Amino acid sequence: MKLTVIKTFVSRFLILILSFSLVIFSTNMWGSEGKGIISIVVANVAAVSFFSSIFSGSSTSYFASKFKIEQILLYAYLWSVITGTLVPVLFGIASIQSEYIFYLIGISVFSSLLSTNINLFIGTQNIKKFNIYTVLQQLVHILFIGIFVYFFRMKDVSVYFLAHIFCLAVLFAISFFQIIRKCSISEIKFSKTVSRNMFEYGWKTQLSAFIQFLNYRLSFYFLEYYEGIASVGIFSIGVTFSEAIWTITRSIAVVLYSDVVNSTSREESIQKTKSALKLTVFLMLGFVLGILIIPSQVYTLIFGQEFRDTKKIMLFLCPGIFAIAVSDIVGYYFSGIRELRILNVKSVAGLLITVLFSFIAIPIWGIPGACLVTVLSYLVSAILLFVKFYRYTEFKLRDYMITRDDIVFLREKFLKK
């Protein structure tokens, strides 16, 4: 069953609202230092997930219709527990937020287990449950935080992580019973064919994603080392806004990807990519204008006095936010035609920029230095994608002028149920 664009947009918009509610609460509850701790631990969870997702991620979805579900679950669950425990222990040995190691283990294990079930819903085309559990992860997390803070009077930042563990554990248990009742115990057994195929497919799909993750998050660790945890909290608000904007613009990219994958004409795919580029450019101009006209006092009112420089950070990040949002369209086009090498190249190039300039800029300028590094990395990645794309097609100024055909594209893809 194909998920309509309107449902995808609504689901992402709900997640966006819940995510911002969580950010606003956490900044006002625990301040910049608490937000910094949360940002680093969540980044660590994301890093662990790239290892656990070798079996529990897209491998589960891809092979759900090719192998027995019982065998897929066996490997995915075992891998989730092993990597969810072992990788955080390695982080602890490296002294990366080691005081929160047990929370990291709990979140990593249950997050991976739940991810297995959610990806299984995708693989079996149960998109309704996929949407439900994706939204519930945010909603139930907020509910547990409210219970711990207002009923049990727990005020420490660890409440955030404890609530996350309870949220993931509850959702995993519910989804597990929904899945397991359709499984046969006699079919639960090891298979070299299943393990080999899942591992081979999984590590290839996760490698590029992991490099891109480092590109987006490595500056957090440099900031913590040179400037302290509070600076991470302040900087992370700007990054949160960036990813919120990308959540909306990537709805266009998802539609484009679907069209390109199902198209038999390269020219038609290129033309649709140009239409999506134009729509994204104009949408991003609206977001940038919004950043410019919102007074600094509004950010302080929402997030607290410690985050008074949020608008300044957003202005610094604007060129990079714009570049990634627009270049993502081109990235999804290359994904749709299975031209994956350029995606790896741009991720590696961006990562090299991040590592090289972080050693130079962050010790000197702190948070503005982190903004500079981030923007440079994003711009280099975007330029590489655009150079590659415009080798396929002739560049013209009207490529960025809205036409009647673009309005029709918008109406058919985003406003039609």
- pLDDT, tens digit, for every residue of 209-268? 788 778 877 888 888 888 888 888 888 887 877 777 776 677 677 666 656 656 677 777
| pLDDT for residue 326 | 83
| pLDDT for residue 2 | 40
Residue 396: pLDDT band (50, 70, 90) is low
Structure tokens, 152: 């049990």
- CA pair distance 132, 7, nearest whole angstrom: 11
| pLDDT for residue 53 | 84
- The stretches of 124-228 forming alpha helices (DSSP H) are 127-150, 158-180, 192-227
Task: Go through the chain and tell me how many residues it has.
Answer: 417
| pLDDT for residue 37 | 87
Nearest CA-CA partner of 173 in 105, 110, 84, 83? 110
End-to-end CA gap in the chain: 15
Average pLDDT score over the chain: 81
| pLDDT for residue 416 | 47
Whether 15 and 23 have beta carbons less than 8 Å apart is answered as: no
Whether 155 and 182 have beta carbons less than 8 Å apart is answered as: no
Structure tokens, 54: 């070798």
Query: What are the C-alpha distances in Å from 43 to residues 94, 107, 325, 405?
Result: 15, 12, 21, 41
- CA pair distance 48, 108, nearest whole angstrom: 7
- The stretches of 262-309 forming alpha helices (DSSP H) are 266-293, 296-303
pTM as predicted: 0.73
Phi-psi domain of 101 (left: phi exceeds 0; alpha: psi -120 through 50; beta: other): alpha
Greater confidence, 402 or 55?
Answer: 55
C-alpha torsion angle, residues 43, 15, 212, 284 (rounded to 10): -130
Task: Output the CA angle 228-230-234, nearest 5 degrees.
Answer: 125
Asked if the model's pLDDT at residue 162 lies above 60, the reply is yes
| pLDDT for residue 111 | 93
